[in-house]
Every structure is written in structure tokens, then in C-alpha cells.
Amino acid sequence: MENQALLRLDNIHKSFGQTEVLKGISLDVQAGEFVTLLGPSGCGKTTTLRIIAGLETATSGRVLVEGKDVSALPPEKRPVNTVFQNYALFPHMNVFKNVAYALTIRRVKKDEIRQRVQRMLELVQLSGFDRRMPSQLSGGQRQRVAIARALVLEPKILLLDEPLGALDLQLRRQMQVELKNLQERLGITFIYITHDQEEALNMSTRIAVMNEGHFEQVGTPEDIYERPVTRFAASFIGQANILQGVVEEKAEGRSRVQLEQGGTIFVNEALEPGTKIAVSVRAERIDYAKEAGYGFQVPGVIERHSYIGGVLRTTIKLSGGQELLITGANPSSHYPDGCAIQVFWDPDTAAVVERS
Amino acid sequence: MEKKRHISLSVWPLYIWTVLFVALPLVYVVVISFLQRGDTWGVTDQVTIDNYVKMVDPMYGSIFLETLAMAVLTTALTFLFGYPFAYYVCKLPARLRGVMILLLMAPFWINSLCRLNGWMILLKSNGVINSLLLNLGIIDEPLKLLYNFGAVVVGMVYALAPFMILSCYNSIEKMDWSVVEAARDLGASAWKAFVTVTLPLTMPGVVAGCVLVFVPSMGLFFISDLMGGAKTVLIGNLIRTELTAARNWPFGAALSMVMLLATVGIIWVYKRVSGSKSLGDLM
Amino acid sequence: MSQLYIWVVLAVMYLPMLVVVAYSFNSSRYSNWEGFSLQWYEELFNNSAIVDTLNNSLMLAFFSCALAILLGTMGAVGMAKSRFRTQGLLENVSLIPMMLPEIILGMAYLALFSLCRVPFSMITLIIAHTTFCIPYVFVSVQSRLVGLDPAYVEAARDLGASQTRAFYDITLPLIAPAVLNGALLAFAMSMDDVVISFFVAGTNSQTLPVQVYSMLKSGVTPEINALCTLMLVAVFLAIGLFGLGRALFKRASRG
């Protein structure tokens, strides 16, 4: 292999007693990537991270760093460091000692420790806080100390377990930018856990959407958002409308689909007639008017409009009863509630998330 | 957890110590309670239940009853005085709370016999209280305040009240007062809210306190000895006499079994009420 | 109203001690006040029985506490890491000495040591006291360990500490206050114990409480008042020093 992955998870399974938490996870991460594990709580993302860190042992499967199997190594021997969920700053040590801890263990010379800790504290903009105890810091400051402490060894991979989870929204946004800048500046690979989709889309080079112990989809934020491959991936991120139907006719690179809810649409994928499929369309990609576009025939009735901030949210009821959610910045034409309209979208913006 | 069965090395010293110096001696007490006494001291290897049969004697029956009465009375009194104290302390601002508990616990560090000595000076026939009353002309001759059942109860309550107070305090302090406010909001009077919400919620602390008072009160023979004189004989005094003066270990052991049964009984009640699995939760 | 109740209870708590303090300065041997005198303090220091037994008691409490700290802390830490069949049983049995009326344990030791023909001495005392001191340390450390976030140790491991190193750097400092708490309680219990010492002390290893007990039984002993007063002073001095130390520490760590 010419392009050896920095980190490779090879078919990892993990069970706690009877419950299988991870059902075969495989992932390759290249140097310098910012990979986010995104999923609801209990999906196994923290367990995955702990297995990479060595804090948990996989039931089966391997963890490879730069091609070397580290599965059997204890956490202290692995070239990865972790930013813990609630930071886990040692409460009996001040900021300096916390950050210096890893260096102290490795018996680095005092002068060098001082220099490296100072550099780290500068990096996270906490110079001068050396003597503070963790209890005397704000949430955001603790967060920075935790990052400095984990970075002081200059690990190849930094694992972050919902590092912004305890911060309020404003601080969170600010820290997202800072973390991303830090990662780009240092060129360290980040494996990042969050259940916040906005955070994931905003920061990652790649996202792994996790659900019930397996990856639903791994891809760039754009891939995940625009081209979800499973129903879960589509509905977990953003506002997606999912419509079921059966393929009626296949043509060059596209198919005509009869919707269960009534009406026909086109998808940009050649599928065998008779295939049952589910199509996901983002709320902001759907358009509606008196006249349909793209050859669609999907009649509906406007249920209601509501303003959420600068966006207009429209609910449309299809003839079969299903409700579609549509968001638009500033609708060019306004239809009153109860008005019958046609729903359509650019087939390029929809994704087939299920087929059988 | 899917941890495999294993014993950490550092458990072994405690394990061995517990087997040698807790389990073994207690098993031995059970064993000798079924043996016959030796001629001068110790035991023979003759198995018998005589030691238990002997207890049926009404003389011992009255001692058991008196011990039980004393233990129950002590527990009830420590609760009656201690709970309001703990409750009111919890109503104080946090800073004062610590000071009050410290003031309460400080005497606890002084030898209990020294403190008992204070009560003896107070209650003696020529003691402080009697002298005061005589000089004020309220009484003509000294009252008999010491060397009776009441004096023993005073001594016991005094020695054991801190346990009850601390236990109640820990429970009350942890309570979420908004629950009481909710009860008041729903129409309960202050007293009704206390009886229906505060008291049930702090019951685990109360019951733990009861255990911590009731159990030792059965065995503190020196309190009944000093405060009750020769008149008040409790099961603790009886055991001591059987062990030392009478040198009848088997009977002493059998009496201990009765006390043990009472202890196990009250701990069982405690576990039922508090739902706690470990004895450690008592502390 | 509620404040008043608190003060009344505290007054009743301290009344007997105030009486003792007052009488320790009474020149009369009996209860009527005949003037200020320090003679009981002099007699106290000349009473070799009290001085000797005080030494015994201090030594006993020191060694029992040290052993209890060792066994109790190691036990609690080990138990947290272990899973074995007799674990629950071991835990409850090792806590029995805290729960049982002391007299039962006293009689058990009396009988067992006699059976094994172990002479009653400082050794038997230390064994007995260590046994009832262990639960105080054990329970205190255990409850601290339960409340300890495992992430601290994990973070240390993640940063390169071995299991042993993480224990000494992280776990031990974090449970130290609990060890101290338990040990202080155990020390107080050991210094105060009459019942168990009464049964297992040898003739040359009498403890202070047992000595005071026999003196109180035999009659009027104003030296005891002096002793009690000194203990009272020592306790409040210790509390004062402790409070001062903590205040200073707080100020230092704030700056």
C-alpha cells in the first residue's frame, strides 16, 4: 500500500456482557485529517474513541497506528492523547502541573518542561494562568487547559470526546473556530466526537455517522449532507424529507418513480423498474409553485407557514397525507394556506437512501 | 461490567486480618456458648445447651427487659432531642452550620469518661445541683439524682446523642428543600409538610442514627456501672461479671448471642428501611 | 426560637465539661468550693499511673491507626479493583467491629487469646484496636473512591503514566483527605475505648480510659477533672490550629 493510513480501525467489535456496542467498525484516517464521529448518545462513539486510546479493549478487531498494531498496548504506550469529556483536569494540581504531567512522567528536564508548557499555554491563550487551580477556572479555560495538556507530547493523533459539550452556545461557536485553526496550524490528526451536527459539518474534513454500533456513512460534510446513503444519515443531519416510492421506468442515468403518497418524480440514478426506494430531499431544496418543474407531478396543499428567524418554513400536505417540510429564505411568490400547488426539486439535490 | 473475577493483591492483608481477628473470634464465641464451663476458668469440650436454658430464669428476664427499655428509651430520647437540633442547624447559613457541628463534635474527642465525670459531679448527693437547690432552700435534703435508672439514661443519651445528630444532619442537609416548598404550595401546613415530606425523606438518616445509638447502648457497661451504681444491672454488666468475676465464659458467650441477635435484628430493620446493601452506608 | 434551641442543646452538652473545668481548680477535694488551686494538676503529673497509661493509650492509638490506615486503605482500593465471589461477605464481615456492641468483640478476644495462650499485652491491644479502627478508614476511603471520577486516572494513563504511577500521582492524593478523616475518627475511637481494652489489656499495658474508669469507680478523684480540662484545651487548640492552617492555605492558594 503506497498510502498507508495513519490510523486504521480494522473490523472492531465490542461487547459489554450480552450487549454488542460496536458491530464491526472499520475506518482509515490519513495524517492531518479532522474526522468526526457523529451520532446520537449510546451509538458507540465514545467506546470507539476509548478503544483507540487504549482505555477499553476491543472484543475483536485491531487498531493500527502507522501500520503497527497497537491493540495490545496499554494507554500509556500509545502515540495518541485524549481530551476528556469533562476535561478530567487533575483537581489537586495547578494548571502548570496539569500540562506538565506527561513530561514529568517522561523525566524531561525541568527547563525544557517549563519551556514546553509555556509554549502550550501560549498556544491556547492561557499564559499567566500557571498557578491557578482547575477549580478557579471558567469552563472555557478548563477546556483550553485540557487541550494544552493533551497536546504537550505533540501526539500524532488527538482524540476529543465532546470537548465543547459543557460550554454555552456562544463560547461553543468561538471554540469551534479556535479548535479548527489549532488543528490546521499544528497539522495533528483530530478524531472528534460530537452529537451536534452543526459542529460536525462546520469543523470536519470527514464525518463518520454512527448509529447502533456501526457506521452509517463516512464522507466529507458535503457528501453527508448532500448525498446521504442511508435513511438514518439523511434524517440525523439537517431537515430531510423522506419519500417512498417504486421505480416505474428506467432511462439513461435516471428513473421515473411512482410515490406512495401519489405523484411521480425523477431520480438521477438508473434503477430497475419495480425497485422500492426511499428518496431524501433537504427541506431547503424543495420548491413549490402552481406549475411543476423537472417533469414532476406531486400535488399538495399548503398547510401552514411559520417564520423561524429569517427563514420561512412551509408545511405542505401531500395527497396521501404525508407532510413535507420546506424552508426558504425569501419565497418569491406567496401562496396562502390551503392553496393547492405542485411540489418539485432538482433531481440532483435528492438522494436515494434505500432500495430493495 | 465485564471484568473477570480477580482479587487485587492489596485486598489480601485485609482479608487475612478479617478472617483471623473478626470472623474467627466471633465463631469461637458462638462455639463456646454451647460448651460447658471449665472448673476454674475456660471451657471443657462438653457440648450443652444449658447456657441458653439458664437464661429463662426470670431474674435474667428482667435484666433483658431493663436493658431493652434502657436502649429504646435512649434511642427515643436522642431522636427527640437530636432531630430538631440537626434540623435547625440545617436551616442556618452554611458557614454557621459548620461551626455548630464542630461545636457539637468537639466534646466527642475528649474521653467519654471525663465527660461522664462531669455529670457525676452535677448529680451527686453533695453535687452541684443538690448544693444549689439546698442553698436556695427549694429542698430540705439532697435528692437522689445519681445511681438510678434515670441517671444511666442521662449518661447514655449524653454519650450517644452526637451519633444520632450527625446521622440526621447528614440526611437533612442533603434534602432538596424545594420539595417542602412544593408541599406548602399544594396546601400543606408547615407541620403537615414536615410530617409528610421532610421526615419520610430523612428517614434513612434517622434509622441509621437509631442503629448507631441502640446497638452500643446495650454494651456500654461502664456507663450503667458509674451512673447506676450497683442497682442498675444491664446485660452488658452481666456479661462483664460472667467473664471476669464469675469466670463463666460459656454463659457470657450465650448472653452475647442474645445481644448479637438484637443487633442483627435492628440492622435488618435498618436495611429494610434504607434499602442499603452495605453496612458502610451507616457512617 | 430555633437558634435558642440550638444554644440550649449545646449548653447542656458543655455544662458537664464546664463543671469539670471549674472543679479542677477547686482546692477542696469535695464539691463545695474552697478557693482556687492548681494542686490537682500537680497531683495529676505526679500520678504515675495516669501518666503511664496516657503513654500507653497514645502509643496504642498511634500504632492501631497506622495499621488501620494501611489495611483499610489498601483494602478499599483493592476492593474497588476486584471482583470475587466472597467480596460482599468480606466487606460486611470487616465492618462488623464498627456495628457490634464492643463488649461482644471484647469477650471474643478475651476467649480467643486465652485459648491460644497469647499473653495480654500491648500486642493484643493493638490487634483489637486495629480491628475496630479498620472500618472507619475503610468506609471513608471507599465512599471517596465511589465518588471519584475514573476519568482522572484514565487521563493520567493516557498521558503516559503506568497503572502504578497513576495510583501514586492521582488516586492517592485525591483519597488522602478521606484517609485522614477516617484515621482521625479511628484515633478518637481508640483513645476513648473502655470496653474492649478492659478485656484485652495486660497488667503492664493498661490504657488511660480503663485507668480513669477504675479511678472513678473507686471514689472522689479531682485529678481526673484536671486531666479532662487539659484534654479539652488540647482539643480546642487542635481545632484552632487546624482552622488557622486551613485559612492560611486558602489564602496562599488564592494568591
State pLDDT tens for residues A40-86.
988 999 999 999 999 999 999 999 999 999 999 999 999 999 999 88
* 3-class DSSP state of B132: helix
DSSP state of C168: I
Chain C touched by A137 (CB under 8 Å): no
| Maximum average pLDDT range among A198-202, A272-276, C130-134 | C130-134
Answer with the one of A185, A201, A232 that is the final residue of a domain.
A232
* A contact residues 15-34, partner B, Cβ 8 Å cutoff: 15-17
Chain A touched by C159 (CB under 8 Å): yes
User: What confidence score (pLDDT) does residue A212 get?
Assistant: 93
Is residue A1 one of the residues assigned to a domain?
A: no
Is residue B240 one of the residues assigned to a domain?
A: yes
Report whether pLDDT(A333) > 70: no
Short-list A194, A191, A231, A259, CA closest to A29? A191
Instruction: Give the Cα separation of A140 and A118 in Å (integer).
Output: 18
Task: Please tell me which residue, A334 or B130, carries the higher pLDDT value.
Answer: B130
3 state SS for C85-131: CCHHHHHHHHHHHHHCCHHHHHHHHHHHHHHCCCCCCHHHHHHHHHH
Question: By residue range, what is the domain housing residue B194?
Answer: 53-282
* Same domain membership, residue A192 and residue A45: yes
> To the nearest whole angstrom, how far is the Cα of A161 from the nearest Cα of chain B?
21
* Same domain membership, residue A181 and residue A286: no
In this complex, do C155 and A75 lie within 8 Å of one another by their Cβ atoms? no
The tens digit of pLDDT for each residue in C70-84 reads 999 999 999 988 888
User: What confidence score (pLDDT) does residue B282 get?
Assistant: 64
Is residue A141 one of the residues assigned to a domain?
A: yes
> To the nearest whole angstrom, how far is the Cα of C253 from the nearest Cα of chain A?
8
Is residue A178 one of the residues assigned to a domain?
A: yes
ipTM for the predicted complex comes to 0.89
* Same domain membership, residue A268 and residue A201: no
Is residue A346 one of the residues assigned to a domain?
A: yes
The tens digit of pLDDT for each residue in A196-238 reads 888 999 999 999 999 999 999 999 999 999 899 999 999 898 8
Report the domain count for chain B. Answer: 1
The tens digit of pLDDT for each residue in A138-196 reads 988 999 999 999 999 999 999 999 999 888 888 899 999 999 999 999 999 999 999 88
Hey, what's the cell of B141?
Answer: 435534703
Is residue A262 one of the residues assigned to a domain?
A: yes
Considering only the beta carbons, identify the residue of C165, C173, C253 that sits closest to A105: C165
Between chain B and chain C, the number of residue pairs with CB atoms below 8 A apart is 263
* C contact residues 104-143, partner B, Cβ 8 Å cutoff: 104-105, 107-112, 114-115, 127-128, 130-131, 134-136, 138-140, 142-143
* Same domain membership, residue A348 and residue A215: no
* 3-class DSSP state of C41: helix
Question: By residue range, what is the domain housing residue A118?
Answer: 7-232
Between chain A and chain C, the number of residue pairs with CB atoms below 8 A apart is 64
* Same domain membership, residue A111 and residue A173: yes
* Same domain membership, residue A224 and residue A248: no
Report the domain count for chain A. Answer: 2
Hey, what's the cell of B244?
Answer: 471476669
The tally of CA atoms less than 13 A away on the side-chain side of residue A339 is: 16
In this complex, do C155 and A90 lie within 8 Å of one another by their Cβ atoms? yes
**C102-115 helix and B24-32 helix, angle to the nearest 10 degrees:** 80
The CATH code of the domain that includes A320 is 2.40.50.140
Answer with the one of A173, A203, A232 that is the final residue of a domain.
A232
| Maximum average pLDDT range among A143-152, A296-305, B40-49 | A143-152
Instruction: Give the Cα separation of A279 and A352 in Å (integer).
Output: 4
Q: What are residue A321's phi and psi, to 5 degrees?
A: 110, -25
Hey, what's the cell of B231?
Answer: 442497682
User: What confidence score (pLDDT) does residue A162 get?
Assistant: 92
> Which residues in chain B are contacts of A15 at CB distance < 8 A?
2
* Same domain membership, residue A347 and residue A216: no
- Set out the domains of chain C in order of their start, with CATH numbers: 1-37+222-255 (no CATH), 50-219 (1.10.3720.10)
Considering only the beta carbons, identify the residue of A76, A88, A90 that sits closest to C160: A76
> Which residues in chain B are contacts of A16 at CB distance < 8 A?
1-2
Mean pLDDT estimate for chain B: 86
**B149-173 helix and B94-105 helix, angle to the nearest 10 degrees:** 150
| Maximum average pLDDT range among B68-82, C32-46, C114-128 | B68-82
User: What confidence score (pLDDT) does residue C64 get?
Assistant: 96
Is residue A2 one of the residues assigned to a domain?
A: no
Answer with the one of A204, A232, A260 that is the final residue of a domain.
A232
Report whether pLDDT(A2) > 60: no
User: What confidence score (pLDDT) does residue C255 get?
Assistant: 43
Q: A14 to chain B: nearest residue by CA?
A: B2
Report whether pLDDT(B134) > 90: no
Tell me what the mean pLDDT of segment B189-204 comes to: 89
Is residue A252 one of the residues assigned to a domain?
A: yes
Is residue B33 one of the residues assigned to a domain?
A: no
Is residue A191 one of the residues assigned to a domain?
A: yes
* Same domain membership, residue A267 and residue A144: no
The band of A1, judged by pLDDT with boundaries at 50, 70 and 90, is very low
B neighbours by CB contacts (3+ pairs under 8 Å): A, C
* Same domain membership, residue A100 and residue A19: yes
In this complex, do B1 and A15 lie within 8 Å of one another by their Cβ atoms? no
User: What confidence score (pLDDT) does residue B264 get?
Assistant: 87
* Same domain membership, residue A195 and residue A134: yes
Residue C78 · residue B14 · CB < 8 Å: yes
The CATH code of the domain that includes B258 is 1.10.3720.10
The CATH code of the domain that includes A140 is 3.40.50.300
Instruction: Give the Cα separation of B195 and B188 in Å (integer).
Output: 10
* Same domain membership, residue A302 and residue A197: no
Q: Cβ contacts of residue C140 below 8 Å, gap of 6+?
A: B283, C178, C179, C181, C182, C185
Is residue B38 one of the residues assigned to a domain?
A: no
